[in-house]
Amino acid sequence: MTSLARQFGRHDSYTPDALHVDLGRQLILDTVRPITGSERLPLCSALGRVLAETILSPIDVPAHDNSAMDGYGLRADDLATDGDTTLEIAGTALAGQPFEQRLQPGQCVRIMTGARVPAGVDTVVMQEVARAAAGQVTLPPGQRKGQNIRRAGEDLRAGTPALPAGRLIRPAELGLIASLGIGNVAVRRRLRVAFFSTGDEIVSIGSAAREGQIYDSNRYTLFGMLTRLGFDVIDIGVVRDDPHTLETTLRDAATRADAIITSGGVSVGEADFTRDVMARLGEVLFWKIAMKPGRPLAFGRIGKLDGEGDGGAWLFGLPGNPVAAMVAFYQFARPALLRLAGVDPVAEPPLLQVGCTQAIRKAPGRTEFLRGVLFRDGTDWKVRTTGPQGSGLLSSMADANCFIVLGQIQGNVAAGDLVQVQVLDGIV
């Protein structure tokens, strides 16, 4: 028995009980180990990459006490305990142009947002409540010592972690790193992912599809999904349903990639020869997942288990049906590939509860991922399906902006019921 099979016990080779989606995802996540290579890049080139180092702040942020408001900086001791206070305006502090003297009793300084707080000033009163005339300003009572001042180091203290290793660098991270004055960062090298389609009936665009043949779409959805995740992609093309070709293709792909994604050839009818080939090359498990679409799934390793640098690669065998391949990619391959790429922690996509405007027939027993459209209805957001849900209908994915996720034990949905949705597009 292989070590993966031992690790997963009865969850090997289409055991009669299908595997729960969450368990399958967790088993895979617990098995894969991040790649270790890294490189140092100029900040802007690091967008979409994964931090390989913890970023410690070299400075206090903000670097100095500064004003949170446009107004007047003063000494709280000068404020009358009841009634108005009138102070002499001794000068101006602008962001980038500090007021250099120490404030004397009875004085205040006109101060703008972001300006360094001058020596002696401990309180800022906002300009909206002040009345200024002839070099003086009158301020109402009720001010609090220390108000409207952002303290040095309030956001980050020098020497403390600003960002953890494993963080995906998005625009906010770029800005935060820049705010520390840091111009380059260590990131993980890009994950290399090879992919190919299997099937004697599959032809690539560019050649004419003859009777009984269909154009390959899985390589294009995979190209898109992998590229969006920031990986280096290696498109290996279409591979015939022939054990020898499959074997040499997998062997070659494993020397070039950290992970290999195949589509097709893992359904119960076809799996036997795929399984034989994969068993010769490494340790691959064949699972029946309790889900719709996307039921058959293969996962394992070509080459030795756990051996980065051994010329091996993790393998994800997705079902051939185009929608099933996408759903299985998002639910199983995506989190595992992010983990491989070094993302830590790998966040689960949020499941939101939304009212469904239509009835949906659903038998308990497996998790269903329907393609849905979230839409605005007055002030509420609601969801409906995209229409026909066949696992070959890519238009259902193209028209969708969310998955409607109906849990394993759930039965029929009535119009108006709350359902869970997973949003496909984010804004960042």
Binding site for ligand AMP (CB under 6 A): 197, 199, 201-202, 214, 216-218, 263-265, 267, 270, 319-322
Alpha helix ranges (H) inside 102-242:
171-179, 218-228
CA gyration radius, the chain = 30
Of Mg ion, ligand AMP, none, which one does residue 217 interact with (CB within 5 to 8 Å by kind)? ligand AMP
Q: Which residue lies nearer to Mg ion by CB, 270 or 417?
A: 270
Per DSSP, 108 falls in state E
Q: Which residue lies nearer to ligand AMP by CB, 54 or 207?
A: 207
> What character string, x for contact with Mg ion (CB under 5 A) and - otherwise, covers 233-272?
-------------------------------xx-------
Q: CB burial class (10 A; 0-12, 13-18, 19+) of residue 427?
A: exposed
Shortest distance, CB of residue 54 to ligand AMP, whole angstroms?
42
Shortest distance, CB of residue 323 to ligand AMP, whole angstroms?
10
Alpha-carbon separation of residue 256 from 25, 195, 233, 308, 413 (angstroms): 25, 11, 10, 12, 46
Of ligand AMP, Mg ion, none, which one does residue 319 interact with (CB within 5 to 8 Å by kind)? ligand AMP
Comparing every residue's Cβ against ligand AMP, the nearest one is 320
Shortest CA distance to 424 belongs to which of 395, 387, 389, 398?
398
Q: Which residue lies nearer to ligand AMP by CB, 264 or 342?
A: 264
Q: Which residue lies nearer to ligand AMP by CB, 32 or 298?
A: 298
Q: Which residue lies nearer to ligand AMP by CB, 132 or 209?
A: 209
Inter-residue contact 90 to 104 (CB < 8 Å): yes
Shortest distance, CB of residue 269 to ligand AMP, whole angstroms?
7
The Cα–Cα gap between 389 and 410 comes to 18
Window 291 to 320, contacts with Mg ion (CB under 5 A): 320
The Cα–Cα gap between 61 and 408 comes to 48
DSSP-based three-state secondary structure for 271: helix
Of ligand AMP, Mg ion, none, which one does residue 218 interact with (CB within 5 to 8 Å by kind)? ligand AMP
Residues sharing a CB contact under 8 Å with residue 31, sequence separation 6 or more, in sequence order = 4, 7, 299
The Cα–Cα gap between 171 and 168 comes to 10
Window 183 to 222, contacts with Mg ion (CB under 5 A): 199
Shortest distance, CB of residue 392 to ligand AMP, whole angstroms?
6
Of ligand AMP, Mg ion, none, which one does residue 197 interact with (CB within 5 to 8 Å by kind)? ligand AMP
Amino acid in position 128: E
Q: Which residue lies nearer to ligand AMP by CB, 166 or 264?
A: 264
DSSP-based three-state secondary structure for 5: helix
Inter-residue contact 413 to 360 (CB < 8 Å): yes
Of ligand AMP, Mg ion, none, which one does residue 342 interact with (CB within 5 to 8 Å by kind)? none
Q: Which residue lies nearer to ligand AMP by CB, 185 or 285?
A: 285
Residues sharing a CB contact under 8 Å with residue 97, sequence separation 6 or more, in sequence order = 115
Q: Which residue ranges make up the site for Mg ion (CB under 5 A)?
A: 199, 264-265, 320
